[in-house]
Amino acid sequence: MVLQESAVERDEYRLVLVKSDSRAIWIKHKNHHLRLPRIVIPRWTRRVEQVQKIVDSAWDIRAIVLEILPGTNGHAPCAVIEVNFSQPHDGLVAANVNEISEEELTIEERTVVNPAFADNAGARGPFARLGWIQEAKEWICVEVGYDIAFTGEVHQCNASPTFTLARFATKVGRGYWLKATGEPNVHEFHITRQLAELCPEYLPRQIAAREDWNAWLSEDAGQPLDLWTLPALEQAVVSMATLQQTTIERTSALLVAGAFDQRICVLSSHLVELFEYLDDAMAHQTSTKVSRIESRRLRQLAAIIEDACFHMEALNIPDAVVHNDVNSGNILFEGDRCVFTDWCEVGIGNPFFTFQYLCLLQPGGEDWTPGLRTVYGQCWLEILSASQIKQAFALTPLLATFSCIYGRGTWLNSARRTDPRAQAYARSLARRMEREAQAPSLLEVLCH
């Protein structure tokens, strides 16, 4: 039987339920065949969260997802999961991996599953092996300084041999978050540590770090908002401005730590190749729902952006941290405190760009931007003049969108350049730039 949740779109996953205390896995015995259990989860959701939730519910067990392998050659994706029950459970029987047919578990997948039982399982990454969760709990207790009464609930948001994001619930007091990153996001470890030291009031409180795991431990620091209000967004805007101003003198160190260089001079130096890419992306458009932006218009947009970059540089706004992944889940509130998480896409560039991203969090139908500009602008009056701030706000919507297309910059020479999804995203941003290039406030600045 395939366990499932009702959903319009859902995907099937095979489960390799690895026994914590042995070298066996739990499987289904059906019609004289050994079959891996199956579940289905809603598409476009966090896969690790959904797998853990459904397995916990189906068998009433604590499941730790070690890895999710992509499906190949007609096979559904495969989730490798550590489970802690040792007796036969709800139709499951214990078996050796080698007893399972290749139709159920491919040879390539066995090369991943088998090492999980081995003593050197961690060679693929610290979170590919059985028992790493228990080691993490022991580490947390050592760093906190006393034995913590854990509830046993470990909420996983991400899981792979080198990546993890998990919350450890406690019976008394706050819970703890463990996050670790591997390639290509190793830099987030170093960036987060620096920002936590530099701006501790605007990041979750850091408890400890482990360089061998490229991981850091932090306390619960509030909750994301289900529904934004104007006072909450104003609070986020002020907190971000204060954080950014604290980083102005540390931009060189943050660049060395791995922050992406998104300064105006860097963006403008890639203008030609970015618009060549946009021209190519438009040529690959197959949808007829919206018109392509023709090459001639793209050249006009490139000239406008070049002019906008010149004017923005002339304002001499100091570079600071730019949070390029501002979303509701990455901003936590606890009383009058607002903190920011997930610094994977951090850049160094014009700080007003992050303000533009924050404005996108407004609920549909609301237009709080004028008031938010007043709040954010007031935060900069000790550093910038009112004229500088006004011009920056006029230039920012166009240039922040251009910066979004540039991103890390590395993708321009990677396979992602030809990814249809990346091209579709770039086309959508190009259309936004076309709209923003016609804003009267922008044209007024460019004409002076």
Structural domains in the chain?
A: 2-123 (3.90.79.10), 132-219 (3.30.200.20), 230-446 (3.90.1200.10)
Helix axes 187-198, 230-247, angle to 10 degrees: 100
Six token digits for residue 195: 């920002």
Six token digits for residue 181: 């990153």
CB 34, CB 69: distance < 8 Å: no
Q: Does this model's pTM top 0.75?
A: yes
> Which residues neighbour 413 within 8 Å (Cβ) at sequence distance 6 or greater?
none
Task: List pLDDT tens digits, range 418-435.
Answer: 889 999 999 999 999 999
Distance of alpha carbon 97 from alpha carbon 95, whole angstroms: 6
- Whether residue 140 has pLDDT greater than 90: yes
Amino acid 86: pLDDT: 65
| Stretch 34-62: mean pLDDT | 90
Task: List pLDDT tens digits, range 112-135.
Answer: 888 777 666 667 899 998 889 999
Query: Helix, strand, or coil here: 370?
Result: helix
Task: List pLDDT tens digits, range 376-433.
Answer: 999 999 999 999 999 999 999 999 999 999 999 887 778 788 889 999 999 999 999 9
Amino acid 7: pLDDT: 42
Average pLDDT of every residue of the chain: 92
CA of residue 249 relative to chain centroid, distance: 26
pLDDT above 90 covers what percent of the chain?
Answer: 75
| Stretch 143-165: mean pLDDT | 94
With tokens 């003049």, the residue in question is 385
